Chains A and B, each alone.
Chain A
């Protein structure tokens, strides 16, 4: 079943992570990812830093520069992404959603909209 970003945020659904692999419970188009101080925008298959796989049920991201996200991201930090819902116009800036992804125990990935305090510019 196709889940959207809005569904995920409304229902406070979590994603998953295993090592350097992140699973988001929605289908989307990702425009930008910031992990630590790496700004990732090259999502082509030849990218040495990242691999994206978008399916109808979920989106998976492999962070090739890191072995384990848990060792990389502290409890106060987040991986930040700019994403657009699959069925929305990617060229409309108001459709660009900024998300903060926080890694927790037991492979749980907390997904939340970045609030006012968190710095994340497109």
Chain B
């Protein structure tokens, strides 16, 4: 006897089937797994609110206790799944994804911190624009986090006699966010999509033209901002040299990039360590963290004012986010099926974008990917379903992927590196705009028109 989940079938197919003719037993989702109650998304919402408001309104309390809050919310949800729903598979998958995610981010962060770049050139609008463009390209190889950590200091040094807040804001726009839209290495939501089954090169194949347009439209105002900055450098002579210290860490970076592909799904010879919640890839990445830290030049770490705190913060907050978002993901998938055709591509683009701007873009991406797949009766938790979805209709995934990445730049809290860049800049003595000034003076004026153009050109009325 076979079991057929009728919830996975379109209504017209479902209505024409009879159990006897197929010799199957019909079951619905409700028969297979117990869905979490709606109130179980409360810990997720509370955690996101705390993440958004903590650093702004109760900074020092938050700095001391964020880990406890995150773990507390995660434990509540995990306990419900284990003791009330007797459901372990979802939690296991979530923990596996979390370990992959944190392995990549931590290895990029520690390795980048052991590299010091000095650019001895005169700061001009064209030099700065090219610098940001290079940062955008680099973000696709070492992630927006890696590129931000690596390049923010040389960018500030390059502009030290004429630095202004807009330099940092545009750096956040381009290097910390928009730049990383081309590969799963670029931005955490895309990496999570890759882990869930989106092919590695799907992103670059389907988003390169939006990436180029977004970059051009953001770099043009930056060029003019910089052109009108009349401050000049006191330094008279420049060697034009670009000096890179910490070469061995470049090798570590290469190892991390190559390790991303060490997956049994990509190469069958790679041992599958399941049911362990990690694989060879993660072991390599964590080994890189250890060796990069132990062998990095102490002077470079001092110059970069290295501290484990930023990655510790990401590790603690994301363990909470990953686990608490589990019921939200399941419920969104169910709701999407119920709402059906009411969710069009415009909704996916703007809803993913707006939520990515104020929440973290990684869970937002997963929620809306889950919703889009729900329209096709597919489950985001099943890799084969994701791979099938990519071949069914790409417009939704395009909308979700590009808006999750782009809109992360709208606020300081939209993407992890935003806060990191802000923190490094403030440690360097630069006073940056407040949370709301950033939005009203910069992102709404510069980014929103760009994102509207992208929507009109590529998504409006297309699904």
Contacts and interface: CB of A to CB of B under 8 A. Distances in A.
Contacts of B309: 74
Contacts of B116: 117
B428 A120 contact: yes
Given A76-B306, A118-B303, A121-B163, A37 B427 contact: yes
A121 B60 CA distance: 24
B426 A77 contact: no
Nearest to A74: B307
B168 to A, nearest CB: 11
B426 A121 contact: no
Nearest to A33: B429
Interface SS majority for chain B: helix
A74 B422 contact: no
Interface in B286-320: 298-299, 301-309
A65 B64 CA distance: 11
Interface in B425-463: 426-431
A2 B424 CA distance: 35
B304 A76 contact: yes
Contacts of A78: 305
A76 B302 contact: yes
Contacts of A34: 426-429
A108 B61 CA distance: 28
A42 interface: no
A39 B430 CA distance: 8
Interface stretch (B40-48, B153-161, B254-262, B376-384): B153-161
Contacts of B306: 74, 76-77
A122 interface: yes
Interface in B378-411: none
A119 interface: yes
Contacts of A120: 428-429
B308 A122 contact: no
Contact of A121 (B301, B422, B429): B429
A10 interface: no
A89 interface: no
Contacts of B422: 37
Interface in A24-42: 32, 34, 36-39
A119 B301 contact: no
Contact of B303 (A37, A80, A117): A117
Nearest to A38: B426
A99 B423 CA distance: 19
Nearest to A82: B429
Interface in A71-122: 74, 76-78, 80, 82, 117-122
B428 A76 contact: no
Contact of B156 (A36, A80, A82, A121): A121
A82 B428 CA distance: 12
Nearest to B156: A119
Given A39-B429, A77-B305, 6 more contacts: A39-B431, A74-B306, A76-B301, A80-B429, A121-B160, A121-B428
Interface of B: 60, 116, 153, 156-157, 160, 163, 298-299, 301-309, 422-424, 426-431
Interface of A: 32, 34, 36-39, 65, 74, 76-78, 80, 82, 117-122
